[in-house]
Amino acid sequence: MENRGQRTVTIKAHAFDWHDKIGYMFGDIGNNFSFSVVNSFLMIFYTNVYGLTGAETAIVFLLARFVDAITDVVVGRLVDNSKLHKRGRFIPWMQRMQYPLLIFLVLLFVPIVKDWPMGAKMAWVWVTYLAWGILYSTVNIPYGSLASAISSDPDDKTSLSTWRSIGSALGGSIVSYIIPLFIYVGATQKISGMRFWMVVIACAILGWFCYEMTIHLTTERVQTEKSEKVALSAILRSMFTDRSLLGLVITDLILVVNQNLSGTMLTYVYNDYFRNSTAMSLALVVNTATVILLAPFSHYIATHFGRRNSSIVGLSWSFIVYLVLFIIRTSNPWVYLAFLFCGSLGFAVFNLQVWAFITDVIDNIEVKSGDREDGIVYGVNSFARKVAQAIGGGFGGFLLTYVGYKSSTTGGAIQSAHTVNALYSAATLIPVVCAALAVLLLLFIYPLTGKLVEQNGQILAQRHAQNAAEEANN
């Protein structure tokens, strides 16, 4: 084991408790007041308010997300090498960068841009979307890295992952339910750009409140003092020979592709196939809120069956449910909603534990190499997630153009039968393919069983305690 100028200690602070759990949960609620708004609704805003085609939107999403992906690794590196403040390394980043992020969230949806010439409109879209993506990284990477700094205990990390997933589900559900209720004019399916913008402003204010809760309630206990900077190439070389990181990154990439495409396609299915905005609100809530339903059982599932095994079973269940939904081709929005609920349960098993998976990988790398690089590991995983979002956003936009989706600057257009049927097929088949691929990866690539995770936790607890004792004696 080689330790390259690092000393990781667990500082004396109040015991891990509900402050950390609730505070960490609020961070992902805050993220979703930004991310879920963009992920679920920006494409339909661009096509039905700004009048962009699906292909034009796809190009913006695809290229901007690749820029974001590179930004994630850079931000992870900057965060890891930043000054260790009294409150730690990650909380100060969130404290500073939340403000520009939320400002650019609001700028993404300015309604008067729809009346600008196409050149000016596209310039606005490119600048605001790129800036929002970069700024989101400067908040999300420190927030994600914070989990492994709050506690080194595997059970605490399971709790944090569960509470983060609850926060994600709550934030996503609130956004998914509220926005469709307010963006349409009267009883029509015409989207109001001004109403959309006002809802987004409200989301930005709520996002600020949630970030403040995270900043003031959580404590960074595991802190790494670095006496020298390690070459990024050396860090990445050691990481990408680690099967746990590779297995998790590729699995997460595939499931984020599913999450992005399914969320986008679900919006169009209910808007154009079922033409039911009320059912859309409920469907978007169900697509995320199943996490809350399973949350009370998450700790039991992780400790008795392991994260890896339980995720394999859950994803296999989702594969079966969505395959049946594709085959039956229901025309009833409530039958579709019932299947959506059942299928989402399987994905929720993985989503509840994904952030603990990342901290398991961080620990595994530290055990083997002696280096703790929370930010860069989280940045690498976030890089993969941004690539997945680029694929999801890009493919979704190109798919809309391929099936003949008609854009509009007046709130929406009537689509052909061929188009709406193709939207249904895409919304049901994408989860089938992604769930199958994820199961195979977890079975044959990802190596961290529950027993190995527990062993790593014990090794690191001993090392950190020894470092703290040595530091106290010096």
Q: What is the Cα–Cα distance from 230 to 376, expressed in whole angstroms?
A: 12
pLDDT of residue 62: 79
With tokens 């391929």, the residue in question is 402
pLDDT of residue 305: 87
Q: What is the pTM of this model?
A: 0.69
pLDDT of residue 39: 80
What is the overall mean pLDDT for the chain? 84
Left (φ > 0), alpha (ψ -120 to 50) or beta: where does 329 sit?
left
Which tens digits make up the pLDDT trace of 437-461? 999 999 999 988 888 888 888 888 8
Which tens digits make up the pLDDT trace of 209-259? 999 999 999 998 877 765 455 555 655 665 667 788 889 989 999 998 888
Contact yes or no for 175/287 (Cβ under 8 A)? no
Helix, strand counts (H, E) of the chain: 14, 2
Contact yes or no for 204/106 (Cβ under 8 A)? yes
Contact yes or no for 32/168 (Cβ under 8 A)? yes
Predicted confidence band at 294 (pLDDT cuts at 50, 70, 90)? confident
For residue 5, pLDDT beyond 90: no
The domains of the chain, with CATH numbers, are 15-221+256-473 (1.20.1250.20)
pLDDT of residue 467: 74
Low-confidence winner among 289-298, 336-345, 365-374, 429-438 (lowest mean pLDDT) = 365-374
Closest CA to 362 of 143, 158, 152: 152
Strand, helix or coil for residue 127: helix
Q: What is the Cα–Cα distance from 432 to 436, expressed in whole angstroms?
A: 6
Strand, helix or coil for residue 117: coil
Q: What is the Cα–Cα distance from 443 to 447, expressed in whole angstroms?
A: 8
Contact yes or no for 270/276 (Cβ under 8 A)? yes
pLDDT of residue 1: 43
Strand, helix or coil for residue 74: helix
For residue 8, pLDDT beyond 90: no
pLDDT of residue 12: 63
CA 383 to centroid of chain Cα atoms? 11
For residue 4, pLDDT beyond 60: no
Helix or strand (DSSP H, E) at 88:
none
Low-confidence winner among 169-183, 260-274, 405-419, 429-443 (lowest mean pLDDT) = 405-419
Contact yes or no for 252/184 (Cβ under 8 A)? no
